[in-house]
Amino acid sequence: MRATATRATATATATATRASTRALRRARAATTARRFDASRRAASTSNDGDGSDDADASDATPTRAKRDKPLPGSGVNLYDPVATASRFLTRRFGIVGGLGLVALLASVEGGEIVKALLERDVDVSTTAEEFAVEGNANGLRARDVKIGGGASAKRGDFVGVNLTVVDAEDGVEYLNTKKAKRPIAFTYEKKPLLAPICEAIEDGVRTMKRGGVRRVFAPSAAAFGERGVVLTDGTRIKPNRDLIIDIVLEEVSPSYV
């Protein structure tokens, strides 16, 4: 009986320790998020006086991560699906056939542009609550800042996003595509995922609509895990880092190719 009581006590102690660790991590992430918001608001207030755009406001954001030697290539940019289709179809069907198909696709894309102009987004930054991201088994949580008025991504769609990636513990900024003016494009639910896209971003986008903004709180298991990653500009995200990721869903387009 004494051994059973000892085991029960040890189990209870271990459970309490794990709960305490999780609570500490969440508290650190919340503190970092508040600091991140405060620095953005300060930058925004500063910019109101001099008329500079939002991209310049990020000068006041958290410390930038150190970079290693850049990897080959210049990264992935948001691209025009019609232009991408044009190159593919010209190679496959020749100039005349390719141009005919591209003209048809362009008319479809034009319709998407008209729809985008009619979309209305809703700011929920002061009312939205944090929630568990459905379908993610690694503890991913999120909070909406703005509800988009456009389409949601489906498997195979072209998705364009702007990302801000910050360390949840020390606030180091690893990536800011808006500041760099290099938004990211990827094919939704296509594997393997290529950095900087990770599980947290793909799952975080799932219920968003075009024009929406969402803050994702990503445990390391939903981000880059035990291996970490080196981004194409040489920025290194160390292993086992929890991240705060701001996602702006800029574009959702059907896959034409």
- DSSP characters over 21-62: HHHHHHHHHHHHHHHHHHHHHHHHHHHHHHT--HHHHGGGSS
| Interval 144-169: pLDDT, tens | 999 999 999 999 999 999 999 999 99
Cβ count within 10 A of residue 176:
20
Cα–Cα distances in angstroms (integers) from residue 2 to residues 5, 6, 9, 257, in the given order: 5, 6, 11, 68
Rounded to whole angstroms, the Cα distance separating 26 from 224 reads 18
Please give the pLDDT value at position 204: 96
Secondary structure letter of residue 67 according to DSSP: B
Please give the pLDDT value at position 189: 93
| Interval 190-249: pLDDT, tens | 999 999 999 999 999 999 999 999 999 999 999 999 999 999 889 999 999 999 999 999
Q: pLDDT > 90: what percent of the chain? A: 42
**SS3 state of residue 242:** coil
| Interval 51-88: pLDDT, tens | 444 434 344 446 766 666 555 443 444 444 444 554 44
Please give the pLDDT value at position 122: 83
Cβ count within 10 A of residue 195:
18
Where residue 34 falls among pLDDT bands split at 50, 70, 90? Answer: low
Q: Which helix (H) or strand (E) holds 202?
A: helix 199-205
Rounded to whole angstroms, the Cα distance separating 234 from 195 reads 12
173 CB-contact burial (10 Å; exposed 0-12 / middle 13-18 / buried 19+) = buried
Question: Residue 17: is its pLDDT beyond 60?
Answer: no
pTM of the model: 0.63
Q: Which residue has the higher pLDDT, 107 or 129?
A: 129
